[in-house]
Amino acid sequence: MRLLLLRHGQTPSNVAGLLDTGAPGPRLTPLGEQQAAAVPAALEGRRIDALAVSSLVRTSDTAGPLAAARDLRPSVLDGLREVEAGSLEMSSAFDDHHTYLETVFAWSRGDRSRRMPGGPDGHEFLARFDDAVAALSTVSRETRDGGVVLAVSHGAAIRSWSGARVRGLDVEELAHTPLANTGLIEVQGDPESGWELVEWHREPVGGALLDAVVAHDPTGEPVDE
């Protein structure tokens, strides 16, 4: 199975630097809509057998143009949603951003018992994201050659799960490198044998001109020392 994990387009909370992880969450900004609109052309010629989104509306907004272009109906999987910020929810404070990111990358490094303040620990997060990926793997088995699935998810969720589960990704590099809105991590494998890195697109798939220089985009920014 080939799995493309695409971060959603820009939201007002990304611009404002808010740890906004609750449901249903914000819609896209005008730039986020441009980022989403650029995805079909950016992936033109790429095989995609199925689409999936999280239960947060910004992922459905991002998948919309690609779904229309490919005549695909996205599956909604709650397990693909963002890492819950717990008591840090809606904070714009630097220290809270640091705590949030340090926690999700601690999970990637193996400290799964560390708990987000007022939120999940690493075992809980990885279990529900693993379940979502396993569901996608089931869908892919129904297609030829193992299938290609694109899942629109969230910055911290993609980075934390990939750091914990994908061979060929350096966790420290992942933690200290931003993942832009509509950036992509592409992997191959399956839940039984594991996952290997294929490619990591740090910038928007539609091109660097669609990137936004935002001072504090909490779930996609690097861990600041």
**How far, CA to CA in Å, does 179 sit from each of 62, 190, 208?**
16, 23, 12
Token digits of residue 220? 């996609």
Identify which of 13, 17, 42, 18 has the alpha carbon closest to the alpha carbon of residue 29: 13
Annotated active-site residue 201? The verdict is no
Beta bridge partners of 121: 115
The H or E element that residue 160 is part of is helix 155-165
Say what angle helices 122-141 and 94-109 make with each other, to 10 degrees. Answer: 60
**How far, CA to CA in Å, does 185 sit from each of 97, 168, 171?**
22, 12, 13
Annotated active-site residue 82? The verdict is yes
- Distance of alpha carbon 48 from alpha carbon 200, whole angstroms: 17
Residue whose tokens read 């740090």: 202
Q: What angle do CA 94, 182, 13 make, to 5 degrees?
A: 35
Question: Of 82, 84, 186, 221, which is the active-site residue?
Answer: 82
User: Would you state the torsion angle of the CA atoms of residues 132, 133, 134, 138, taken in this order, to the nearest 10 degrees?
Assistant: 100
Query: How many CB atoms neighbour CB 194 within 10 A?
Result: 11
Active site residues: 8, 82
